[in-house]
Every structure is written in C-alpha cells, then in structure tokens.
Structure 1
Amino acid sequence: MRLLHTMLRVGDLDRSIAFYTDLFGMKLLRRSDNEQYRYTLAFVGYGDEADHTVLELTYNWDVDSYEMGTAYGHIAIGVEDIYGLCAQLEQKGADVYRKPGPVKGGSTVIAFVRDPDGYAVELIERQ
C-alpha cells in the first residue's frame, strides 16, 4: 500500500495550478473536466503518479470558496534552502505566515505558507 494523493477543493483552478507549479516547482500531471457533474480535476506533483504521492486540485464549477473547518491541518514539502525559498516566495507575493526557524522544542527548521485558497503548506528543511 502507499498514499496516492491528497485532494484540495479550490476556488480558482488556474490560480491554484500556478501556485503549486510556479512557486513550488510541481508539474501539472493531468487535468480532466466532468461536464455532467460540473467539476474539473487537476493533479500536480513532483513525479509520475505511479511512483509519487500527488495533489488533486478539485474545482467545482459553481463554487469559488470553501470553509476551512478545524480538522484539516496542512500538507508538507521538504526543501533544501528554506530561508532562500521563503524569500523568493515572499517576493512573488506568497503569504509566508510562519517565518523559517526551528520548530518549538526541536531543531528542525520549518516555515508555513498559505496557498491561494488558505490551505496551509508546511516547508521542512531537509539536507
């Protein structure tokens, strides 16, 4: 068994695809429209779905925003230079709402960014 994907409902599909591809270097792997049920799915990630866990971005055609709720936490992305990446993200207008630094009670360096729909993305420095 393995984890296949995480699904996020988004209010503007093109904006969300641009966020994950332009700012985080993911690739748009596939995209499909369902005219009957009025939604579009886009899968983005760092490698082929056969070998990698990906994000499924779901755009329901008649919905442009969602309640975040209190159960969902975040997705996490491993990065090499967290300080440099966060500086680049802020220059491009991203909301880095938890600046890079050690996690409370530990030494792992993390940061948090919000995607265009308000979902939290944790960055974890990996060497």
Structure 2
Amino acid sequence: MRLLHMMLRVGDLERSIAFYTEVLGMDLLRRKEYPSGRFTLAFLGYGPEENNTVLELTHNWDTSSYNLGAGYGHIALGVSNINETCEMIRTKGGKIVREPGAMKHGTTVIAFVEDPDGYKIELIQQKS
C-alpha cells in the first residue's frame, strides 16, 4: 500500500490552485468538473501521481466556505532551506503563521504557512 492523496474542501478553487501552484510551487496535475454532482476536483503535487502523494482540492459549487474541522492537523512539506522558503512564500503573498524555529520538545526546525482557506501547512527543514 501507499498513500495516494490528501483531500481538502475549498471555497474558491481558483484562489486555492493559485496558492498551491504560485506560492508553494506545486503543479496542477489534473482537474475535472462533475456537473451532475456540482463539484470540481483538482489534483496538485510535486510530481506525477504514479510516483508521488498528491493533494486533492474539492470545490463544491454551492459552498463558498467551510468551518475548519477540529480533527484536521496539517499538510507537511519538506524543504531544503526553511528560511529562504519562508521568505519566498512571503514575497508571493503567502502568510507565515509560525516563523522558523525548533519544534516544542524537539530540535526539528519547522514553520507554518496558512492557505487561503485557513488550512495550515507545516514546512520541515530537511537534513542535508
């Protein structure tokens, strides 16, 4: 078995696709509308779905926003230079909600960015 994708419901699909592609550097891998169900699915990631876990954005046409679920944690992205990554995200209009630093009770360096719907994305400094 392998993890295929993670799904988020988003209120504004175009805004979310722009954030994940322009700010976080993902590629839009595929997109499909389902008129009879009144929803659109968009799959984004850092490589082909055949080899990589991807993010599925679900846009229900009649819903413009969601309450964030109490059980949702975050999406985690590994980065080679967390300080440069945070600066790049800021220059592209992204919102850093936790500056880079060691995690509580540990030494791993992390930061958090927030997407347009308020979902948290953790950035983790990868060891060289």
TM-score for the superposition, normalised by structure 2: 0.96
CA deviations over 1:24-63 (Å, ceiling 9, x no partner): 1111000000000100000000111111100000000011
Runs of 4+ in 1 over 4 A off after TM superposition: none
CA deviations over 1:63-100 (Å, ceiling 9, x no partner): 11000021110000000111011112122221101000
What corresponds to 2:74 in structure 1? 74
Percentage of pairs with the same residue: 60
Structure 2 distance, partners of 1:74, 1:95, is 15
Unpaired stretches in structure 1, ≥5 consecutive residues? none
Structure 2 distance, partners of 1:71, 1:105, is 22
Task: Tell which deviates more after alignment, 60-69 or 91-100.
Answer: 91-100
CA contact (8 A) 2:8 2:57 kept: yes
What corresponds to 1:114 in structure 2? 114
CA deviations over 1:80-125 (Å, ceiling 9, x no partner): 1110111121222211010001111211110001100010100001
TM-score for the superposition, normalised by structure 1: 0.97
What corresponds to 1:28 in structure 2? 28
Structure 1 distance, partners of 2:69, 2:33, is 27
RMSD of Structure 2 on Structure 1 (CA): 0.8
